[in-house]
Amino acid sequence: MGVLEKVYALVIANTTINLLHLSNIIFWFEVSTDAVLALACLGMAIVSMSEQQKQNHLLSQEMWGGAIAVAGASGASHIMDLWDLLATNPPASVFLKAVPLVLGLQVGWGVLKLHWRTRAEVKQQLLYKVAELQQGLDHMRREIEECQGIRAALQWEKELALVTLQSIADAVIVTDAMGRVQSWNRAAETLTGWKFQAVRGRLLTEVFPIAQDSSNSRIPGFAQVLQGGEAVAACHQTFFKHRDGNRFSVEYSAAPIYLRGAVYGSVLVCRDVTKTRNQTRELSWQASHDDLTGCVNRREFDRRLDLAVTDAKTEGNRHCLCYLDLDRFKMVNDRAGHAAGDELLRQFTALVQANVRQSDVLGRLGGDEFALLLHNCSVEDGEMVVAKLMGAIEDFTFVWQEKTFAVGVSIGAIEIDVTTESAAQVMSAADAAMYIAKEERRHRSASFNTPSCCCQEAHLG
C-alpha cells in the first residue's frame, strides 16, 4: 500500500478530519525535503519520502508502515526505541521535531520530522554553531564588563557622595516621605549631640527641635515640604535646642526629594549661626551706641527722634525731648584728668538711666551733652521726670582718687506734638531751652510747650 493510500485509509477511519486539512497534509508530505513520520492515534507510522531521499539517507524499508509510536487518549505521542529502528544504518546526525496536529475536533496526529545530514554538513554546522556561540560569549563578556564598570562607577559615586556628605560643615539630614531620619552626617551629630544610629528611623521633629522665638512649633515650614512638596528657606530668629539643653541660633533650608513624580523624602541643611548673629548684633550695637557710656550715639538718637516726630504728626501722640548739659565736667576733666572725666560720664549715664523709664531713650550727642527722649509723655509729665532726675543728680557726688567733685546738670525740655515741623527744629529748640536754664542758674531746668515759645524766650533773653 502506498503512502497516499495509507493516509486515505486513516482519514476514512477518522471521519472528523476536514478534507481541506487532509489535502494540505498530503501536499506537505510530498514537498518536504526531510523524512516525515506522521503518527496516527492508532499507532501506525506513515512515512513520506521521495526516491532520491531514500537513496541519500539509505532509510531501511522496514520503517515503512511500522508501528513506532503509541498515542494516548490525550494525543501525546511517546516515541519508543527510535534509535533501535535506525541501528542498521545510523545517520551522521538526526534532528527531531515533534509537532502536534489538531484536525477536526480531535487531537489524533503527531508529526515527527527526521533530517539526515552528512558528516561534512555536521562539521560545518558545528563550526558555525561554535563561532556563533563564541560570538554570543564575547557579547556576554562585553555586557558583563560593562555592567561591572557601571557598578564600579556607581560605587565610586556613592563613596564620593558619602565622603562629601561627611565633609560638609553644615548638618545634612535626609528623611523618608514620613519624615523619618534616613541619613545624618557628622555635623548633624555635633550640632544635636545624637549619634546617627540612635536617631535612625525616628521622626525628625522629635530629635531635631527647631523653633522660632515667637512660636513653639517644631521646624517651621517643614510640614509643607513633605505634604505640599515645596522647598522652604531658613527663618530669621530661629533657634535649635541641643540635647544638653543649650540653645543655638541656626539657619536651615529644606527641600523635597521626588521619585516618579511623587514626594519620596526630604533633605534638610542646617547651620549653626550663633557666632555670626552675635557678631552681627555686636557690630550693629557698636554702630548705634557710644563706646564710652553705652547709650545710643548721635546718629541713632537722630533716627529715633525722626520716628517720634513722624509718630506725633501721623498718630497725634505727644512726646518730650530733653537736652542735658553736664555742669562742671570741664573742671573735673582738667583737674583729675581724662580718665576721671570718662568715669564721670559713665556714672552720669547710669544715674540718668536709673531714673527714667525703660522705654525712654538716652543718647550722647558729644562731649558732656546728652539728649533724652521721653515717649508718650507731655511736657507736664516731662517736667515731673526732669524734677526727679535733677533731684537724683543733686544728691550725687563724684569721687575720684579720694577727691570729691560736686556736679550739676542744666536741662531744656520741649514737647513734640502734631505741630512739630521736624526733628532738627525740635532739637534746636531743646538746645535753646537748655541754654536758657544754664544762663539763669546752674543746675536748673527750663521747659516749653512748643519750640516757638522756647525760641521767643531765648530771643527775649
pLDDT along the chain (461 residues), means of 10: 44 43 48 46 39 41 34 34 42 41 38 52 74 83 88 85 80 89 88 88 84 58 77 75 82 87 87 87 91 94 95 92 90 90 94 92 94 90 86 89 88 90 91 84 54 39 34
Task: Note whether 168-277 and 289-460 share their fold.
Answer: no
| Residues paired with residue 254 on neighbouring β-strands, in sequence order | 232, 268
Identify the active-site residue in 360, 368, 417, 431: 368
Task: Give every CB contact of residue 53 below 8 A, 6+ residues apart in sequence.
Answer: 33, 34, 35, 59
Q: What is the CATH number of domain 289-460?
A: 3.30.70.270
CATH of 168-277, one of 3.60.40.10, 3.30.450.20, 3.40.50.880, 3.10.400.10: 3.30.450.20
Domain range list for the chain:
3-117, 168-277, 289-460
Q: What's the 3-state SS for 144-195?
A: HHHHHHHHHHHHHHHHHHHHHHHHCCCEEEEEECCCEEEEECHHHHHHHCCC
Cα first-last separation, the chain: 158
Give the count of beta carbons closer than 10 Å to the beta carbon of residue 303: 13
Among this protein's residues, is 213 annotated catalytic?
no
Q: What is the pLDDT of residue 219?
A: 59
The grid cell for 203 is: 521622626
The DSSP annotation for 408-453 comes to: EEEEEEEEE-TT---HHHHHHHHHHHHHHHHHH-SS-EEEESSHHH
Name the residue among 413, 409, 411 with its Cα closest to residue 454.
413
| 242 residue type, one letter | H
* Distinct helix (H) and strand (E) counts, the chain: 16, 19
The angle that helices 338-354 and 379-394 make with each other, rounded to 10 degrees, is 130
Residue with cell 499507532: 43
